[in-house]
Structure 1
Amino acid sequence: MIKEKTFTLKDNYVCTSQHKLYALFSFLSARDAYTFLCNWFEKFPEHKESTFYIAGESYAGKYVPELAEVVYDNNNKKNGSSLHINLKGILLGNPETSDAEDWRGWVDYAWSHAVISDETHRIITRTCNFSSDNTWSNDECNEAVAEVLKQYHEIDIYSIYTSVCIGDSARSSYFDSALFKTNSRISSKRMPPRLMGGYDPCLDDYARVFYNRADVQKSLHASDGVNLKNWSICNMEIFNNWTGSKPSVLPIYEKLIAGGLRIWVYSGDTDGRVPVLATRYSLSALELPIKTAWRPWYHEKQVSGWLQEYEGLTFATFRGAGHAVPCFKPSSSLAFFSAFLSGVPPPPSR
């Protein structure tokens, strides 16, 4: 049985006809998302009986299970919510799952893919205990982890085998700022900071230009079109100080599995940000019985990745895909998504 490493919060949500949400010790993301769902289903009642799935990738690895837990708990309250959401399952891609396992997988993946040296890996293995609240008080650990970040600055951490955007000012301004110093103390147990990148290495630059256009900001009601906001791809100050999520959602996995919900998890295997090793370490901590042995899965007669079915959970990889898998493998992603909705694993042969 997975236990929280720090504390467990008891969530108590009630969705009423007045669309009010009462939450004790809740997390903002789950509370706000559930409030939205209450209002949406009230506005479109014809969809109340439809099957409902929640999917997301990256940091949604925390958001999606937390929201699913809120929906699940409310559905099972005898005198609680007036709304029953027909939740059937969740789908998670390259998800942040459990901080300690995610950190360990992040480091081991960088080493196993020759991003960092044997020496750096040995120092981290010797000095960093990612399960401990005191790990960041060790200077050797901090400096070695900062070395991993330094090496990832040279490539696209989200897609380690594709090119970076040359002259990307977003990358340069971040690493030149006070938010990142090679020998700085890592101040949070959260996953490493977001580095700029993507399948199109200049995608972040395109987005920054687009969202800083006057007509776009006015259309989105972000500004009046004259006094413009300075939009950036990621607010690192907020990111590094965000504490509104559980250190591990594995206890939620256990609850949802026991409740019979469908849980599929997948990993693009060339992502260094939330790598396949991190996800495998996290899922291994659940100690689920294996239902179907590790095997390739196919799309258009080619191996798209590998797959293993556990009792209550399916895990798959996407061969040659980075962090946002559909950007790299759109066709096989659609096939995999369709398989998830049908509850039938993708083909085991050509």
Structure 2
Amino acid sequence: MFVHAACSIDRSPYNINKTSANKQSWIYDQNLHSYSHGPGCSSVGYGATQEIGPFIVDTNGHGLKYNPHSWNTEANMLFLESPVGVGFSYSNTTSDYNILGDEFTANDAYAFLHKWFLLFPSYRKRTFYIAGESYAGKYVPELAEIINDKNNDPSLHIDLNGILLGNPETSDADDWRGMVDYAWSHAVISDETHKIIGQSCNFDSNDTWSNDDCAEAVDELLKQYKEIDIYSLYTSVCIGDSASSDDKFTQIMFRRSSKMMPRIMGGYDPCLDEYAKAFYNRPDVQQALHVSDGQHLKNWSICNTKIFVEWLESKPSVLPIYKKLIAAGLRIWVYSGDTDGRVPVLSTRYSLSSLGLPITKTWRPWYHQKEVSGWFQEYEGLTFATFRGAGHAVPIFKPSNSLAFFSAFLLGESLPSVR
């Protein structure tokens, strides 16, 4: 059994503005037609109906089309909307919306799993895995840690065997450094901007954003990404009529003291988000899902932007959890689409490098259908792989490759290293 968690990607124009000296904040112009994965974004809208589910939303939301590369050909899949307020999910406890953060989300997801197993007890003893991408790079290890800690109680045992993470936010400082170095190495920013960031930004410090030179240089980086799709550097952006409408824009504010990565929205078909929105706002679809009577409709959105604003706490790094899970014998696989600028391959390599894990199989290409699909390296307790030419949401770009990768993960086999 496999649980796919919602994640956090954001792909759209955004910029940083300074407010008063006493109340500095970052303001992001978010283009809501674009692609995002939380906190606050829909695992159903993204994972289930854009990436790895059995049916993918069709052009303009007219319907669904069969996905021949669905991951449910290899495992039973649950797509979990988290935290509460994402997609059609809701809570009757109003105060829940005031305490949203990493810890709340992990505990809420754990409570959901046990209630689900009570309803479907035949699945309780099945081998269990958790997967997610982007901000789920934090969700997934945090949930896995709770499961691991509470598995000492036989009545609460879940047969967790491993976790799978795609382009994951992992360590805020390393994520920032990787984002900057990737932008420079892919000619998105100038040598001068890269140099200023290197000299003025200390991403390990809580005072990073009090440095005006750092803030202005990072603003320049974000300004350049405003011109392209940060989640897929070499593909087109959505330029349909719906993408330019004024009601698709909002402003999201973050304290500059926060070390959380910026939340930007974006996506690829590049208009898949628009198709999903049209589909889930159809009266017949909402009635079929039992979320409305088909007359009084819910306003479904791919991301709940209010959650972005009100997110209370985020762990600066989940690397200590990696070490704990590896020591417990869990399998951890991490993968990166190598054309993603938002949580780029460099961010993940910097994070994993700091773990200092012994290498058991050195860097080499892996193959799919006799072509180089990417490169991989195996460590004690962890496998890291890249997907050549894939953006942030890898299964959208490389559906067949990602299914083969998923199958190898479930089997616990090394990726094919010969053509």
Smaller-chain TM-score bracket: 0.7 to 0.9
Aligned to 2:266: 196
Give the TM-score normalised by structure 2: 0.71
Give how far 1:177 is off: 4.5
Tell me by how many angstroms 1:64 deviates. Answer: 0.6
Q: CA deviation at 1:229?
A: 4.3
Larger relative contact order (Cα-Cα within 8 Å, sequence gap ≥ 6):
2
What is aligned with 1:307?
376
Question: 2:266 corresponds to which letter in structure 1?
Answer: M
User: Is it true that 1:266 corresponds to 2:335 in the alignment?
Assistant: yes
Residues 110-139 of structure 1 deviation map (CA, whole Å, 9 limit, x = unaligned): 111111111211121111111111111122
Matching residue of 2:72: none
Change in CA separation of 1:309 and 1:171 when aligned onto 2, cut-off 3 Å: farther
Distance in 2 separating the partners of 1:275 and 1:240: 24
Question: Within 5 A, what are the aligned runs for 1:24-35?
Answer: 27-35=103-111
Superposition RMSD on alpha carbons, in Å? Answer: 2.3
Which SS does the other structure have where 1:194 is aligned? coil
- Indicate if the aligned counterparts of 1:139 and 1:185 stay in contact, CA closer than 8 A: no
**In structure 2, the residue corresponding to 1:296 is in which secondary structure?**
strand
Cα distance in 1 for partners of 2:144, 2:150 equals 10
The structure 2 residue matched to 1:91, chosen from 164, 178, 202, is: 164
**What secondary structure is seen at the aligned counterpart in 2 of 1:274?**
coil
Q: How many residues align?
A: 319
- 1:309 partner SS: strand
Contact 1:157 1:195 in 2 (8 A): no
Is 1:280 aligned to residue 349 of structure 2? yes
After superposition, the Cα gap between the structure-2 partners of 1:170 and 1:205, relative to the gap in structure 1 and judged at 3 Å, is same
1:111 counterpart = 2:184: yes
Q: Counterpart of 1:82 in 2: which secondary structure?
A: helix
SS of 1:232's equivalent?
coil
- Give the secondary structure class of the aligned counterpart of 2:206: coil
Give the gaps of 5 or more residues in structure 1. 1-24
CA change 1:221–1:252 in 2 (3 A) is same
Q: In the aligned structure 2, how far is the partner of 1:166 from the partner of 1:206?
A: 14
How do 1:110-189 residues align onto structure 2 when only pairs under 5 Å count?
A: 110-167=183-240, 169-170=242-243, 173=246, 177-179=250-252, 186=256, 188-189=258-259
Q: Percent identity?
A: 72
2-side partners of 1:134 and 1:340: how far apart?
A: 40
- C-alpha change, 1:248 and 1:171, in structure 2 (3 Å) is farther
Task: Give the structure 1 partner of residue 136 of structure 2.
Answer: 60
Letter of the 2:350 counterpart: Y
The 3 A distance-change label for structure 1 pair 56 and 26 is: closer
1:290 aligns with 2:290: no
Report if aligned partners of 2:337, 2:391 keep a CA contact under 8 Å in 1: yes
Amino acid corresponding to residue 326 of structure 2 in structure 1: I
Select 1:327's aligned residue among 396, 406, 413: 396
Q: What are the Cα deviations for residues 68-122 of structure 1, in whole angstroms up to 9, with x where unaligned?
A: 001100113xxx4612111111111111111111111111111111111112111
For residues 237 and 130 of structure 1, do their structure 2 counterparts lie closer, same or farther at Cα, with a shift above 3 Å needed?
farther
**Quick check: 1:188–1:240 contact (8 Å CA) kept in 2?**
no
CA–CA distance in structure 2, aligned partners of residues 193 and 203 of structure 1 = 19
**Using the alignment, how far apart are the partners of 1:241 and 1:121 within structure 2?**
31
Partner of 2:407: 338
Shift of 1:244: 3.4
What TM-score, normalized to structure 1?
0.84
For structure 2, which runs of at least 5 residues remain unmatched after alignment? 1-100
Asked if residue 208 in structure 1 is aligned to residue 277 in structure 2, the reply is: yes
CA distance, structure 1, for counterparts of residue 255 and residue 141 of structure 2: 31
Partner Cα distance (1:324, 1:174) in 2: 25
For residues 284 and 123 of structure 1, the distance between their equivalents in structure 2, rounded to whole angstroms, comes to 25
